[in-house]
A and B are shown apart, each in its own frame.
Chain A
Amino acid sequence: MSLALEDRARALLDGHSGKAMQLAMRLVVKAADIMGAERLLPVSFAHLDACFYTGQAHVDFVRFLLENGASLAVPSWTNNGVVSLADPSLRPSAEDPEMVSGAAEVMRLYAKLGCVPTWTCAPYQHAGGPGFGDHIAVGESNAVSYYNSVVGARTNKYGDYLDVACALTGLAPDAGLHRDEGRKAQLHFDCSALPGSWRSEDVFAHLIGHHVGRIAGRRSPVISGLPKDTGRDALKAISSAVAASGGVELWHGVGVTPEAPQLSAVFTGTETHTVTPDDLARAHRELSTGSDGPLDAVALGTPHFSLSEFGELVRLLDGRRAATGLPFLVSTSRVVRQLAEAKGWVAALQKSGVEIPVDVCTYYSPRVRGLKGRVMTNAAKWAYYAPGMLGIEVAFGSLKECVESAVAGEVWRDPRLWTSR
């Protein structure tokens, strides 16, 4: 391989900065070799997924780093964990003691390594992150999709350990989505024939994202016909849905995302799909695995809820309570919860019977794992994974449908929405 290494990288590889940094450098070089990169490039930010416990090897890896002189080269934020460090009451009982202690341990060790303990899968909702054109190293699939597409930062999807290796060395392979030629769209979805009123509903972003991801697979799509004022919450919904139903790491929205002022800026191909009402109806059917009926829970916040989503939730609830005994969970980060608290929204939501866990993934938090039966969500990503991971039925709907259903205790469908059946 013809990978060119600077002196500093060569010294790390030779072990001059200890065994941990040597391992990190070796992993980056190995990835660069496999990707066919000719050089490494500096990254300025990382978001680490390796703090999400999947076994003892995760604990041993970060412990090895700490014991062998590892130090982070760039600001490194953390994805959510399997357990909540902020709220130990969310910890499960004796379900799996090895998993619970390992999960907390791996989070503590990454904090000790010097990571910024954001514990969120939506780091782009926090201030101080990367900007347009920055090269970064990110692992979490929805964050990869959002940073690439909406922010215009550049990252490949770096899996466990490689994300940490990039953060330690401050380097990544100059390949894939880091390069201009890697950022073009391979296929085009045209939504312009759909009624404008549909396209401005919050549920539309989830449905179009699910539909596009299913067809795009791992390719990069461009979508035209999105409303010019498509907001950050809708962009988040599309980013996470295309990454879940496909493996999309970069998408463009014409006139909406920064690299696609016009279609021609990113697309010169011939594969164009015209999005029809039937496509959206099918997406809705695929995301609602169960029939409508009495509800067992409502789960929101995949990816983590934003401040504006909290505002909208408070507005829609308007002081009403969720049906007695109905779990109503909204996952978010500590930082966003604090901002919502300052506005008085957390207190208002708690009065309405809403729980707001922080630090945790929406599938693996014990509170979520205990859910059974028919669960309603407004998140395409949650609806996509939950039936398999949690063994529940999903009723997918708009945020308003989730709220009205929570109050009624059974699935309520908005007659105003085209998705009603």
Chain B
Amino acid sequence: MIRARVLNAAEAHGPVLALDEPLSFWGAFEPRTGVILDVHHPQRGACVAGTVLLMRESKGSGSAPGAIAEAIRLGTAPAAIILAAPDINLAIGADVAATLYGRHCAILSVSEGELLELSRASALRISAAGEIRFETV
């Protein structure tokens, strides 16, 4: 079990999608489908919906909160996002979506080493307190 820093609290579980590069939720991601669009991203074409998404950091954009909130509204967002650097934009967007729609996306941060360990799991389960447990799909 790994205890994460909780940036937006929610219970979640899902298959792991570990990204090799940071993702910008604005411009590089299509909220209507949950698919990564950025032609420069190594995981272009992957769908993030319902996954526990792991990435070191998100690419900064002032429009990212709106994009993640829109994805949560449409049900195309990850179930959880775990980062190695705390991220204000994703935390704010997820909080707003929870308030407006009662739909949730956990946003957590862990250390680089812990993120690497988590990326070896096939699936993860997350508690509202930020406890992350390994699961098998």
Contact = CB atoms under 8 A, between A and B. Distances in A.
Physical interaction between A and B: yes
A159 B92 contact: yes
Given A55-B67, A55-B70, A27 B95 contact: yes
A417 interface: no
Interface string A79-103: 0000000000000000000000000
Interface string B62-93: 11111101101100000000000011110111
Interface string A14-41: 0000000001001100110011000000
Given A218-B60, A247-B60, A54 B66 contact: yes
A160 B88 contact: no
A191 to B, nearest CB: 27
A54 B26 contact: yes
B31 interface: yes
B62 A161 contact: no
A23 B88 contact: no
Given A31-B88, A34-B7, A61-B96, A159 B61 contact: yes
A49 B66 CA distance: 11
| Chain A binding surface SS class | helix
A87 B37 CA distance: 33
A159 B99 contact: no
Contacts of B110: none
Main secondary structure of the interface of B (DSSP, over half): helix
B65 A162 contact: yes
A385 B61 CA distance: 13
A157 interface: yes
Interface in B22-43: 26, 31
A27 B100 CA distance: 13
B97 interface: yes
Interface string A47-62: 0011010111110110
A105 interface: no
**9 tightest Cβ-Cβ pairs between the two chains A and B:** A55-B70, A57-B69, A159-B62, A54-B66, A160-B65, A57-B70, A160-B66, A159-B89, A34-B86
Given A31-B91, A55-B73, 9 more contacts: A27-B95, A34-B87, A49-B62, A52-B63, A54-B26, A56-B73, A57-B100, A64-B99, A162-B92
